[in-house]
Structure 1
């Protein structure tokens, strides 16, 4: 179960891409190379940043130390002023994220020893200590950036003016797009399997009430990959994008209370509320999903085969079949049409689609119906069929047809300008010191206060 907002991450990555610097002319010197407010930047911080990028598969041969140093200066500026603005990142929140990332690294590299060696640390404790500070700084940076850009809005007139000011030879080209619809058939879970899970969760709840550790129970039994390794921990408020049933139960409990088992689309849960801080709740939960029998999977396959046969023969339209037979509540009343999560429009640019979805639709012509596809979403298996309702070829941006995309570009441009204005103001009022070895860098921001 994942509750993440990809849009904020993509936007911040875009903003970071606008930083430009030049290569220093002198040799690097170990030790302190910069100070921003209360934060110190070490030469070794840049070395570790290169290692981090390589671990993510990013080619670093064209990235200079000046570029990396400039990014470090920006991050420290954001983090320093996040603290000045009373933005809080708790140790529990940092540790939850850190544990998840270290677990992924261990899984990829094979052992903790290999991870420690890769990042050139002395021990696991040394590794965790370093990355605790890195994660906390990144979270402060992200929240400060978000606070700056969240207040930026754009009017239709501003969008129109932005588009008019683009030179004719620089008007963007938008790639081929498709409108996709799907029908999903999920296997029916029998009552016996449901009752097994409910009974087990009730047993775990009683054991915790009798003194056992909820943290340990979550690590051992929870099937939520996003939180089980950290004892089922989440922090949320009423705007956090958790499913409604989960939030309803979470906000109905007092501190120290444990819920009875309840159901969401992910399975069955129990929740322990640890702390209530104003509008925020810190909680732990255990998720368990009933098992699907082979017969249930066969029945689901037979059902979707029959639905497809009716559509192909012309007995029923795809849209009507979605309304009557699809098990996906988010799309069935819209004829199975998928919305692009980035734009909330029913159009997907082929070159920017999720690779797995692209592979399923790229060979389909308009009104073709795919063969049944077996999907596995975090261990939950189901069948689906898809069709392409419309296809638009690659074209030069047109204001009326591509308004949403143009609005995104205009808003992004305005956000970048707001970030630049904020940085310019904060640099003037913040203590900043740069080592002589890096003063030859050509910074976009006025770090040297010339």
Structure 2
């Protein structure tokens, strides 16, 4: 077990259960509960303990009843997801399975080691075992998301939530800072762009005349998240893809292949396989233009010149960002970064990305960093300079200054209450049977329907 670390287990397979559908189960030995179409096995709780220990959690104070209660909740979510016609396709499960398996193999060195770690006889046995687990987890998470997505909160509710917090329980927010940056990207030549577009057009034509899009994606796509699975993605209009990609995807008919188009990641072609209501199943190929070493040198020289003007007070950092930064998301805001977790221009130091923290932690107010070479998501390199606009010391929550954070707390509180209400209602209308040996458990929810 030494060849897979705790973080790897947690990020790849946060699996709490071993599940099978009740109607498919021939043997009922060890069944301790039935929730709708799902069963809970005594061994599921044992697996929960194994997973928690693998994550480094101290389990000595965690009871079997507590883990059993979580098992019941998960099964209720999954059961209700099916009743609500939430669909998790086999293709979606297999796509996720392939991604995780590829990552595991990369981590440990071989498929055999992965199979051995999970005590399975073969790859087929491994896939069969995890297929139902992954599918149930996806049903569970989508059902939870459906419940909380329907919850909204008004400013008045936020105010009442804050007023209702006892004075000695008002939260304290940690030290924060506001950070700004200017980005200069190397210029890609028109010849290189043409080379990529021509290659994608060549691939497109090959597919139109009978070649496999799946095979072409495996061979040529530079998207690490989908290339091994033939470029497959399933998405709807709310899926977190860049606008240009979604615009093309939803403009195509089934079987149609797009012309090459550009996003921040490079150039793509898309082939739509299926359209199911508001969802699209597609495959795509991404190829990113390559940057020459001279272009990288030119980008560095440009950002050094920008920095010199700022340091010599010929221009402010904010004005330089507006006039010269290649990062469209921040340049019109003077280069100010938004915290991706809160979408506000403050970063709590203890929760800050370690790389960004290392770049700004030693800067004095108004000081500009030396040029920093970084690599963006699409693999391209760029230079940036950063500065700290403002610092905020640790402080007790203030309604006007910390409204966004307080709103988050209030919304989370309302979501928790909505989930509790939903659970109470669904328990009443769902068939649930608990084994006698667990009927003495003190559950948070009314699983015994007393």
Q: What is the TM-score normalised by the length of structure 2?
A: 0.90
Shift in Å at residue 63 of structure 1? 4.0
2:23 aligns with none
Quickly say closer, same or farther: Cα 1:292–1:52, change in 2 above 3 A: farther
Residue by residue over 1:82-131, the C-alpha shift from the partner in whole angstroms, topping out at 9 and shown as x without a partner, is 11111111111111112111211222222111211222222211111121
Shift in Å at residue 59 of structure 1? 5.5
1:415 aligns with 415
Does the 8 A contact of 1:222 with 1:232 survive in 2? Answer: yes
2:446 aligns with 446
2:358 aligns with 359
Q: Does residue 214 of the first structure (1) align with residue 213 of the second (2)?
A: yes
> Across the two proteins, how many residue pairs are aligned to each other?
424
Does the 8 A contact of 1:223 with 1:288 survive in 2? Answer: yes
Residue by residue over 1:125-149, the C-alpha shift from the partner in whole angstroms, topping out at 9 and shown as x without a partner, is 1111121111111111111111211
2:405 aligns with 405
Quickly say closer, same or farther: Cα 1:30–1:51, change in 2 above 3 A: farther
Say which is worse superposed, 370-379 or 82-91, in terms of deviation.
370-379
Q: Does residue 97 of the first structure (1) align with residue 96 of the second (2)?
A: yes
More contact order relative to length (CA 8 Å, sep ≥ 6):
1
SS at match of 1:182: strand
2:267 aligns with 268
Does the 8 A contact of 1:30 with 1:43 survive in 2? Answer: no
- Distance in structure 2 (CA, Å) of the matches to 1:250 and 1:56: 39
Residue by residue over 1:251-274, the C-alpha shift from the partner in whole angstroms, topping out at 9 and shown as x without a partner, is 222111111211111101111111
Does the 8 A contact of 1:51 with 1:119 survive in 2? Answer: no
Q: Does residue 34 of the first structure (1) align with residue 33 of the second (2)?
A: yes
Q: Does residue 44 of the first structure (1) align with residue 43 of the second (2)?
A: yes
- Distance in structure 2 (CA, Å) of the matches to 1:176 and 1:258: 50
Residue by residue over 1:373-392, the C-alpha shift from the partner in whole angstroms, topping out at 9 and shown as x without a partner, is 11112322111111111111
Quickly say closer, same or farther: Cα 1:87–1:33, change in 2 above 3 A: same
> What's the C-alpha RMSD, in Å, of the aligned pairs?
2.0
Does the 8 A contact of 1:254 with 1:273 survive in 2? Answer: yes
Shift in Å at residue 61 of structure 1? 5.4
- Distance in structure 2 (CA, Å) of the matches to 1:53 and 1:315: 57
Shift in Å at residue 44 of structure 1? 2.8
Residue by residue over 1:167-216, the C-alpha shift from the partner in whole angstroms, topping out at 9 and shown as x without a partner, is 11111000011111100111111122222211221221122112111111
Shift in Å at residue 55 of structure 1? 5.2
2:168 aligns with 169
Q: Does residue 429 of the first structure (1) align with residue 393 of the second (2)?
A: no
- Distance in structure 1 (CA, Å) of the matches to 2:155 and 2:336: 27
Say which is worse superposed, 118-127 or 293-302, in terms of deviation.
118-127
Quickly say closer, same or farther: Cα 1:123–1:43, change in 2 above 3 A: farther
2:87 aligns with 88
Quickly say closer, same or farther: Cα 1:242–1:60, change in 2 above 3 A: same
1:368 aligns with 367
SS at match of 2:389: strand
Q: What is the TM-score normalised by the length of structure 1?
A: 0.90
- Runs of 4+ displaced beyond 6 Å: none
Shift in Å at residue 54 of structure 1? 5.1
- Distance in structure 2 (CA, Å) of the matches to 1:170 and 1:209: 65
SS at match of 2:280: strand
1:4 aligns with none
Correspondence 1:187-336 to 2 at 5 A: 187-336=186-335
Quickly say closer, same or farther: Cα 1:394–1:43, change in 2 above 3 A: same
- Distance in structure 1 (CA, Å) of the matches to 2:240 and 2:73: 29
- Distance in structure 1 (CA, Å) of the matches to 2:287 and 2:172: 47
1:377 aligns with 376
- Distance in structure 1 (CA, Å) of the matches to 2:113 and 2:303: 46
Correspondence 1:388-403 to 2 at 5 A: 388-403=388-403
Does the 8 A contact of 1:31 with 1:42 survive in 2? Answer: yes
